[in-house]
Amino acid sequence: MSAFIDAQRERFGVELSCQTIDVSASAYYQRATGQRSARVVEDQRLVGVIREVHEANYCAYGYRPMWKALRRGGEDVGRGRVQRLMAQEAIQGAKRRGRPWRTTTPDEHAQRRPDLVGRDFSAPAPDRLWVCDFTYLRCWEGVVFFAFVIDVYSRRIVGWQFAGHMRTDLVLDALRMALGRRGPGADVALVHHSDRGSQYTSHDYTQTLDDAGVLASVGSTGDAYDNALAESFVDTFKTELIANRVWQTRTQLELAIVEYVG
């Protein structure tokens, strides 16, 4: 832009040249002095903050989560400005991929529990509705499995476990962690919702729910919408933490999960 105006200014003048290419004459004079405007200086500062937040969150944030994170950090910045700066600097969030494995094996002989949720994933307070599931993860040492329990009201992971198998003990340990963190004296009905996987309909698992006074709710077989909140978390979790990274050991992966969950 400046080079074109410099070449034409003797013939047409600065103002006419700027008008022709639809730029501000004052911007041209400002740039000619070699001084940066206050907005440019602030943009460069924000880019530095955005890069720090992006790297601290596994390079997973797109412009909307980034904008919210900046606001939480005290940055008074608009969403459109964050979107512009991230696009300008080619800072991108994680991209979603498909998922090939199946971890839900229905137990056709188990007693069918009712679906108490009906795809309504809302709760009036904490410890009223939990959803759970588990998924597989890959590292150089092999396939490992991650089980979790989410409190629907707060969207917090209240229980989780990481193991090299997908037996009942995997999901049962996650449940016991969640029950152990439940507030004392809880006297309201708590619904525990899962799919029809054999781990969740096993005797040990259902007995633990009964002993804790928790109502078991089970969706239909092979329908992701019946446990959509848990499925959505798995998709986000794999996109933000697992995809596009090489995990060498189970220990390395487990430490990353601990940090992510925290």
Q: Are residues 73 and 191 in the same domain?
A: no
* Angle, alpha carbons 90-95-99 (nearest 5°): 165
Distance of CA 34 to the CA centre of its chain: 42
How far is Cα 24 from Cα 26, in angstroms, rounded to an integer?
Answer: 5
- Determine phi and psi for 236, rounding to 5 degrees: -65, -45
How far is Cα 132 from Cα 135, in angstroms, rounded to an integer?
Answer: 10
CA R_g for the chain: 26
The domain boundary, picked from 57, 88, 119, lies at 88
Q: Are residues 143 and 220 in the same domain?
A: yes
Residue 38 pLDDT: 77
Let me know: does 159 contact 150? Beta carbons within 8 Å: no
What are 210-250's pLDDT values in tens digits?
888 888 888 775 566 778 888 888 888 888 877 777 788 88
Angstrom CA distances, 167 to 48, 103, 108, 161, 217, stand at: 46, 11, 17, 12, 20
Residue 150 pLDDT: 92
Share of the chain above pLDDT 90, in %: 8
Residue 143 domain-assigned (yes or no): yes
Reported as a pLDDT band with limits 50, 70 and 90, residue 177 is very high
Considering the chain, what is the average pLDDT of its residues?
79
Tell me the two tokens of residue 259: 């940090």
Residue 37 domain-assigned (yes or no): yes
Q: How many domains does the chain have?
A: 2
Q: Are residues 138 and 237 in the same domain?
A: yes
The domain boundary, picked from 60, 88, 116, lies at 88
Reported as a pLDDT band with limits 50, 70 and 90, residue 172 is very high
Reported as a pLDDT band with limits 50, 70 and 90, residue 130 is very high
Q: Give me the mean pLDDT over the 138-160 stretch.
A: 88
What are 99-116's pLDDT values in tens digits?
554 555 545 554 567 788
Q: Domain span at residue 192?
A: 129-261
Q: Are residues 138 and 205 in the same domain?
A: yes
Q: Are residues 190 and 256 in the same domain?
A: yes
Pairwise pLDDT comparison (106 vs 51), residue with the higher score = 51
